[in-house]
Amino acid sequence: GRVAATLLSAVLFAVGHNYSLPGLIYVGLVGLAASFLPMRPGTLWPAILFHAMVNIGFKFQEAAYFYKILPSF
């Protein structure tokens, strides 16, 4: 059912990213959260926007680290 499809989607999302184990766990949790978003409205746009926001957040973190504004996490 939906739970199995959601879990499979999160696992495939994580495996599609080439990260170390901690990164895979984080990406898997992000994928799990994103996979629930389209259920209610019936469209992928909430998940796509969520993914974009997460990516933008990481880009801000990278820029802050690069320009020595914030320490690395």
The pLDDT tens digits of the residues spanning 37-68 come to 888 888 999 999 999 999 999 898 888 888 87
Q: Is the pLDDT of residue 72 over 90?
A: no
Q: What's the confidence (pLDDT) of residue 73?
A: 58
The encoded tokens of residue 30 equal 């992000």
Distance CA 65, CA 62 (A): 5
- In a 13 Å sphere around the CA of 73, the CA atoms on its Cβ side amount to 10
Q: What's the confidence (pLDDT) of residue 71?
A: 64
Higher pLDDT among residues 72 and 36, named by residue: 36
